Amino acid sequence: MNRRGGFRLLPIVLFGLYLGYYFIANREEVPLTGRKQLVDISREQEASLGLSSYRQILRQSAVVRSGPEAALVKSIGQRIAKVSEDPGFEWQYELIDDNQANAFCLPGGKVAVYTGILPITQNENGLAVVMGHEIAHAIARHGAERMAHQKLVQIGAMATSVAVGDMEPRQRQLVLGALGVGAQFGILLPFSREHESEADYMGLIYVARACFDPQEAPKLWVRMGEASKGAPSEFMSTHPSHETRIRQFQEWMPEAMKVRAESCGGR
């Protein structure tokens, strides 16, 4: 029962049972979208990891402590956090003097914007779209969910390695290689792209609730596309293509404009 052609069935059966238990025991619901997700660490553990990483990044960076751009980052962040499903984060917003076009929000509400992205955002609404997206990642616990996915892939790889332990070395190498490629392109990358799209949607709604103009979102991603020529194809990327993101923003725009009208009246 356990072996057939050098293949051991028991490790795969045990992994399947563990997988079923894991799915049942570690399910949460993403705020706003209602998607079911897998997370196996507490919010406190996640926030502690985020704070540690944030402090290290700030120690190694040129933080802009004052000025209109730093004030704008804080103002936008506070407005978006106020209308989000804030799980009790201790919010912090910093501007970092660095040419990279990037921003992030670590677990616990630790936000950083790099000055290199400001020429692309161009205005308050564009920066709000970027920050709304990053804040949404933290609220949706995407980092913890990625850790859970990676843990499952690693355990699955270990179970498969034991299951094919009696195969010829070349055959075993081919099986494990195929598993690695399948996990990367069939599980990890698609989930990462799903996280990005989910953060795009949640961030757009936050932008609308906070009375910024959500119509800036597709314009921003046109500029992002112009600034990042030569990006890999969507299938090989952790992010949706710029074209996909623009199309999705256009699909979500009627809802976002309705939310803005309800939240902000004539403002």
What is the set of active-site residues?
134
C-alpha–C-alpha distance, residues 83 and 133, integer Å:
13
- Segments of 44-159 assigned E as strands: 63-64, 92-96, 103-106, 110-114
C-alpha–C-alpha distance, residues 161 and 231, integer Å:
34
Q: Which two tokens stand for residue 218?
A: 């597709």
Beta bridge partners of 105: 111
**What φ, ψ does residue 182 adopt, rounded to 5°?**
-60, -40
Radius of gyration of the chain (CA): 21
Instruction: Name 34's Cβ contacts closer than 8 Å, sequence gap at least 6.
Output: none
- Segments of 87-155 assigned E as strands: 92-96, 103-106, 110-114
Confirm if 202 and 33 have CB atoms less than 8 A apart: yes
Three-point CA angle 186, 187, 192, nearest 5°:
115
DSSP state of 231: P
Instruction: Name 136's Cβ contacts closer than 8 Å, sequence gap at least 6.
Output: 84, 198, 199, 200, 201, 202, 203, 206
